């Protein structure tokens, strides 16, 4: 099985090709037939899907769109990802979990992508690995096995869910084609054996993210959101690709195993460069994983269909940045300053996004900011050196956040496209399955004991608490406080969301209330599976207990030992561990209690009072601290117009004083100069030019533009050459 | 009279000469193209003749290649002719002198 890992990404790619081509073909014939008896007979291949529903999709009632080849699209779209999932698990179990934990890995090189010549060392850069080749190669080790497992499995569940959710959409085939393409790119990203393969997948998922955010391309906000995501990601990718260049020029190869092996074996010669490399790579991670200040695209990305938000913008793609940082942990451990930047950015993003999440009224926006916040957590973990804990949280997060997003999709489906939680409420009894799974996932993300995120978040917080930064000794404690406070905020806004959506009474009007219906089986079964996983997935990382931290053991090979460094894993006393846990539980409990008493029991009176008391604060939070507006002013408009105007003003008033004065002086000189110029210099120049022109006239005449003349000259020339040869040989 | 290689070479030379002359003096693009074909075939004849004389099949293989390329050349030449006719409404090569210096 392990020899077929290259098939894992290729199967979804085949699915993409089949679905895409079938959609194009069926759409063209259908378009012509439909336009035949319509007035606006523009024969475009892409007919515009029907626009209805306030936000997301046309759901449930009435919308019976005929979808050609629907069953084929379903079979290919879901089937290809299912096969990929089976292949993935087959390959993982073929090598064996124990072997992975012992450091086993398997690489498959398909072919040599390119080579740049041999041994052309650049300057004085150290390193013996000047290969200058890049292979198309896949690699399965502990880290990629973990990513592979949950990416394919969650991806498969979300494909199944999409069958129900997108069932009434005219762009069904297009949707599945994009989704399969995404799976292909994501699997290349995860399985790539070198930085360039990682980058190929990285860009591929970015493209699919753009395509799927703009799935409802006929609506301006969706198209704009897609463009925003693309542009903001380009900023990150710019840093990332510079980082890759730096790695290539330092090591002369991009292969993970060789690069990290070289860096770990000879830390003293590489360490000076690593801060720069790590910061550049982290810029890329910031873009893809929505960290401050490049997080702005993720909330807007909610314009895409909800399963897309679940798959790409919560469970898989946005964790690529964390994966990349964890993958490069050898580099980061050689660059403590860069680690500090990662930790601070992560902690700040976690807190910042969580505060915004408190005041959002769109069900998906709350979840989006929650995702940004949780990603901040993961980076915080990586920043303090707890890479395995970060990956643990990536895994559990992918389950419970996918469950939450799919649950929100089910709510939106039930309410025929409504996304505003102010017009929801009391849905618990109407859509019980959705409610139960959403409740479980909410309890999980809030950090309720013995559910998944309790273990993974606790592991991160413990690691932050025990972290050591030599330059700033008090920093870890501050970061710990931020993480703890964020955990409380998370519990608060998630229960606020739960209370406003499912508890109390329905606020959307009686008309809408009649139509509320539970989602079909294809949607509820993935929800149940994900809810189950978000309960049990934490038990692979139980702290304190002997041998409880299985995931830590599993990912141990990730932490390649660096030569000449002792990194003793310190075991904090159990009492400290328990105290940290107690603090986390207490904070979560406070958050849950506040949300419950304010929004469920108090029916929102306390928040209303708070808003009255501090309207400015509320407005700032509700409007996401005006970051988007600031970006618009400074970067978009500022650079386009304002910056230009400002520079012009400065130019006209300040700068011009100097030239005006200088001009008068220059004028005097220039009169003299012009005299000399006109008669002496020009005379020379023109004379030369005229001479040349006269000479050129002769050669110009030869260029007649007639082929036959040229042929004659060629023939004549050949004749002369042969004649000379024959005469003088 | 036995036919020696000289006979072939003379025929080949005559063909080539006629072809070259045609290329130089004819104004109609089609005729020029046909003349080029004539030249190519003269070359083929030459190749085959030497191949037989030297008992080396390379020449014959080569001439097969030349025939193939000639087919491609004819196709492209005719395509160019059509596009020239569309542009200029004439097949006179002397009209097509836009590259004049």
Model confidence at A644, pLDDT cuts 50, 70, 90, reads low
**Range A218-236 average pLDDT:** 88
- By C-alpha distance, the chain A residue nearest B99 is A705
| Structure tokens, A551 | 């995931």
C-alpha distances (whole Å) from A227 to each of A221, A375, A546 are 10, 22, 50
Chain B CB contacts of A704 below 8 Å? 97, 100-101
Pick the residue with more confidence: A232 or A571? A232
Asked if A700 lies within 8 A of B93 by C-beta distance, the reply is no
Chain A CB contacts of B25 below 8 Å? 708
Asked if B101 lies within 8 A of A705 by C-beta distance, the reply is yes
| Structure tokens, A284 | 């890329």
pLDDT at A544 over 80: no
* Count of pairs with CB atoms under 8 A, one residue in A, one in B: 36
- By C-alpha distance, the chain A residue nearest B24 is A708
ipTM of the complex: 0.86
**Which of B23, B93, B101 lies nearest to residue A703, judging by beta carbons?**
B101
Let me know if residue B4 belongs to a domain: no
Chain B CB contacts of A699 below 8 Å? 101
Asked if B101 lies within 8 A of A715 by C-beta distance, the reply is no
Q: What is the pLDDT of residue A59?
A: 46
**Residue where the block lists tokens 């753009």:** A210
Chain B CB contacts of A703 below 8 Å? 99-101
Asked if B93 lies within 8 A of A705 by C-beta distance, the reply is no
Model confidence at B36, pLDDT cuts 50, 70, 90, reads very high
Q: What is the mean pLDDT of chain A?
A: 83
**Range A354-364 average pLDDT:** 87
Q: Which of B18, B19, B21, B24 has the most A C-beta neighbours within 10 Å, making it the best mutation to test the interface with A?
A: B24
Model confidence at A156, pLDDT cuts 50, 70, 90, reads very high
Chain B residue set in contact with A, beta carbons under 8 Å:
20, 23-25, 32, 93-94, 96-101
Kindly report the nearest CA distance between residue A697 and chain B, in angstroms: 9
Q: Confirm or reject contact between A712 and chain B (CB < 8 A).
A: yes
**Window from A47-51, A139-143, A341-345, A612-616 with minimum mean pLDDT:** A47-51
Let me know if residue B55 belongs to a domain: yes
Asked if A703 lies within 8 A of B94 by C-beta distance, the reply is no
Alpha-carbon distance of A667 to A673, in angstroms, equals: 10
| Structure tokens, A705 | 């533009």
The upper half-sphere exposure of residue A269, i.e. CA atoms within 13 Å in the direction of its Cβ, equals: 11
**Residue where the block lists tokens 């809030």:** A446
Chain B CB contacts of A700 below 8 Å? 101
Kindly report the nearest CA distance between residue A306 and chain B, in angstroms: 53
Kindly report the nearest CA distance between residue A704 and chain B, in angstroms: 5
Q: Are A92 and A141 in contact (CB under 8 A)?
A: no
Model confidence at A401, pLDDT cuts 50, 70, 90, reads very high
Asked if A706 lies within 8 A of B25 by C-beta distance, the reply is no
Instruction: Kindly compute the dihedral angle of the four CA atoms of residues A234, A318, A424, A619, in this order, to the nearest 10 degrees.
Output: -50
CA geometry: angle A536, A541, A542, nearest 5 deg:
90
- Residues 327-366 of chain A whose Cβ lies under 8 A from any Cβ of chain B: none
Provide φ and ψ at B98, rounded to 5°: -70, -15
| Structure tokens, A45 | 């291949």
Domain count, chain B: 1
Alpha-carbon distance of A15 to A9, in angstroms, equals: 10
Pick the residue with more confidence: A277 or A696? A277
**Residue where the block lists tokens 């606006």:** A40
Tens digits of residue pLDDT in B48-66: 999 998 998 999 999 999 9
Q: Are A430 and A414 in contact (CB under 8 A)?
A: yes
pLDDT at A70 over 70: yes
Kindly report the nearest CA distance between residue A716 and chain B, in angstroms: 11
**Range A237-256 average pLDDT:** 89
Q: Which of A702, A704, A708, A710 has the most B C-beta neighbours within 10 Å, making it the best mutation to test the interface with B?
A: A708
Chain B CB contacts of A711 below 8 Å? 20, 23-24
Q: What is the pLDDT of residue A642?
A: 59
A603 closest CA partner among A496, A513, A491: A496
Kindly report the nearest CA distance between residue A690 and chain B, in angstroms: 18
Domain containing residue B42:
28-94
pLDDT at A40 over 50: no
Q: Which of B13, B36, B42, B97 has the most A C-beta neighbours within 10 Å, making it the best mutation to test the interface with A?
A: B97
pLDDT at A120 over 50: no
**Which of B23, B32, B100 lies nearest to residue A704, judging by beta carbons?**
B100
**Range B70-96 average pLDDT:** 90
pLDDT at A35 over 60: no
Q: What is the pLDDT of residue A727?
A: 92
Cis before A293? omega within 30: yes
**Window from A88-92, A446-450, A506-510 with minimum mean pLDDT:** A506-510
Instruction: Please tell me the pTM assigned to this model.
Output: 0.72
Chain A CB contacts of B100 below 8 Å? 703-706
- Residues 619-678 of chain A whose Cβ lies under 8 A from any Cβ of chain B: none
Say whether B92 sits in a helix, a strand or coil: strand
Let me know if residue B18 belongs to a domain: no
Question: What CATH code is carried by the domain that includes residue B49?
Answer: 1.10.287.3510
Q: What is the pLDDT of residue A242?
A: 93
Asked if A706 lies within 8 A of B93 by C-beta distance, the reply is yes
**Which of A705, A712, A715 lies nearest to residue B100, judging by beta carbons?**
A705
pLDDT at A265 over 90: no
Q: What is the pLDDT of residue B66?
A: 94
Q: What is the pLDDT of residue A634?
A: 66
Strands (E), A598-675: none
Query: What residue ranges do the domains of chain A occupy?
Result: 73-563+574-622, 656-728
**Range A152-169 average pLDDT:** 89
Cis before A258? omega within 30: no
- By C-alpha distance, the chain A residue nearest B101 is A703
- By C-alpha distance, the chain A residue nearest B98 is A705
Q: Are A607 and A621 in contact (CB under 8 A)?
A: no
**Range A270-284 average pLDDT:** 91
DSSP class of residue A423 equals: G
Say what percent of chain A tops pLDDT 70: 88
Provide φ and ψ at B28, rounded to 5°: -75, 130
Asked if A715 lies within 8 A of B24 by C-beta distance, the reply is yes
Q: Tell me the Cα Rg of chain B.
A: 17
Kindly report the nearest CA distance between residue B22 and chain A, in angstroms: 10
* Helical (H) or strand (E) element with A107: strand A106-115
Asked if B97 lies within 8 A of A700 by C-beta distance, the reply is no
A319 closest CA partner among A144, A556, A79: A144
Q: What is the mean pLDDT of chain B?
A: 91
**Which of A702, A703, A706 lies nearest to residue B94, judging by beta carbons?**
A706
A123 dihedral zone (left: phi>0; alpha: psi -120 to 50; beta): left
**Which of B93, B100, B101 lies nearest to residue A708, judging by beta carbons?**
B93
């Amino acid at each position: 099985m392990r020899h077929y890992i290259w098939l894992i990404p290729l199967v979804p790619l085949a699915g993409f090709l089949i679905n895409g081509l079938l959609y194009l073909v069926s759409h063209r014939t259908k378009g012509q037939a439909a336009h035949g008896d319509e007035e606006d007979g523009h024969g475009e291949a892409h007919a515009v899907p029907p626009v209805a529903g306030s936000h997301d999709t046309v759901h449930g009632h009435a919308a019976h769109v005929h979808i050609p080849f629907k069953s084929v699209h379903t079979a290919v779209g879901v089937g290809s990802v299912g096969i990929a999932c089976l292949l993935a698990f087959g390959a993982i179990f073929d090598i064996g979990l124990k072997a992975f934990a012992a450091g086993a890995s398997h690489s498959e090189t398909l072919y040599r992508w390119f080579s740049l010549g041999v041994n052309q060392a650049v300057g004085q850069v150290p390193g013996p690995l000047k290969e200058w080749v890049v292979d198309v190669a896949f690699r399965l080790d502990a880290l990629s096995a973990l990513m592979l497992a949950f990416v394919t499995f969650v991806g498969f569940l979300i494909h199944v869910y999409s069958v129900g959710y997108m069932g009434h959409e005219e762009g069904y085939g297009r949707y599945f084609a994009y989704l399969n393409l995404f799976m292909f790119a994501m699997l290349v990203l995860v399985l790539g054996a070198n930085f360039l393969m990682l980058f190929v997948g990285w860009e591929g998922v970015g493209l699919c993210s753009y395509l799927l955010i703009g799935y409802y391309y006929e609506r301006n906000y969706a198209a704009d959101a897609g463009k925003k995501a693309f542009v903001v990601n380009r900023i990150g990718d710019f840093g990332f690709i510079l980082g890759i260049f730096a790695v290539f020029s330092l090591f002369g190869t991009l292969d993970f195993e060789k690069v990290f092996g070289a860096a770990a074996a000879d830390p003293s010669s590489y360490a000076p460069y690593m801060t720069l490399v790590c910061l550049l790579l982290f810029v890329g991670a910031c873009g893809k994983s929505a960290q401050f200040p490049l997080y702005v695209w993720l909330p807007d990305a909610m314009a895409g269909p909800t399963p897309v938000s679940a798959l790409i913008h919560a469970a898989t793609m946005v964790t690529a940045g964390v994966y990349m940082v964890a993958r490069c942990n050898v580099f980061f451990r050689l660059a403590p300053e860069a680690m500090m930047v990662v930790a601070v950015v992560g902690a700040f993003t976690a807190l910042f996004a969580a505060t915004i999440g408190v005041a959002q009224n769109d069900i998906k926006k709350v979840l989006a900011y929650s995702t940004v916040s949780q990603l901040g957590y993961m980076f915080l973990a990586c920043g303090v050196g707890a890479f395995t804990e970060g990956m643990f949280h990536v895994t559990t997060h992918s389950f419970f956040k996918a469950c939450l997003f799919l649950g929100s999709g089910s709510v939106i489906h039930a309410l025929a496209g409504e996304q505003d939680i102010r017009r929801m409420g009391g849905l618990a009894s109407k859509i019980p399955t959705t409610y139960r799974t959403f409740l479980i996932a909410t309890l999980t993300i809030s950090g309720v004991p013995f559910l998944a995120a309790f273990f993974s978040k606790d592991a991160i917080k413990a690691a932050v608490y025990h972290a050591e930064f030599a330059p700033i000794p008090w920093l870890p404690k501050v970061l710990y406080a931020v993480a703890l406070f964020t955990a409380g905020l998370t519990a608060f806004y998630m229960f606020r969301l739960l209370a406003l959506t499912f508890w109390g009474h329905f606020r959307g009007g009686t008309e809408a209330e009649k139509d509320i219906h539970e989602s079909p089986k294809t949607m509820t079964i993935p929800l149940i599976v994900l809810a189950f996983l978000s309960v049990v997935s934490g038990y692979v990382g139980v702290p304190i207990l002997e041998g409880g931290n299985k995931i830590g053991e599993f990912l141990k090979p990730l932490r390649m030992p660096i030569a000449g460094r002792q990194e003793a894993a310190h075991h904090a006393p159990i009492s400290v561990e328990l105290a940290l846990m107690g603090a986390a539980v207490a904070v979560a409990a406070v958050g849950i209690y506040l949300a419950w008493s304010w929004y469920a029991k108090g029916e929102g009176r306390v928040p209303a009072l708070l808003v009255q008391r501090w309207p400015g604060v509320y407005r700032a939070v509700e409007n996401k601290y005006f970051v988007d507006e600031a970006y618009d002013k400074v970067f978009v408009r500022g650079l386009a117009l304002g910056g230009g105007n400002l520079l012009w003003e400065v130019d006209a008033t300040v700068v011009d004083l100097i030239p005006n004065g200088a001009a008068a002086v220059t004028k005097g000189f220039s009169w003299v100069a012009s005299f000399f110029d006109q008669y002496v210099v020009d005379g020379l120049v023109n004379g030369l030019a005229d001479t040349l022109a006269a000479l050129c006239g002769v050669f110009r005449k030869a260029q007649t533009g007639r082929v036959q003349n040229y042929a004659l000259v060629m023939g004549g020339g050949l004749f002369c050459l042969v004649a000379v040869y024959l005469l003088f040989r | 009279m036995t036919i020696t290689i000289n006979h072939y070479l003379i025929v080949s030379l005559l063909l080539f000469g006629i072809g070259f002359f045609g290329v130089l003096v004819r104004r109609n693009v089609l005729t020029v193209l046909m003349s080029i074909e004539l030249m190519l075939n003269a070359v083929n004849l030459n190749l085959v003749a030497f191949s037989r004389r030297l008992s080396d099949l390379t020449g014959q293989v080569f001439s097969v290649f030349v025939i193939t390329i000639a087919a491609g050349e004819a196709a492209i030449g005719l395509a160019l002719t059509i596009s020239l006719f569309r542009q200029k409404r004439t097949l006179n090569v002397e009209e097509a002198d836009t590259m004049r210096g």
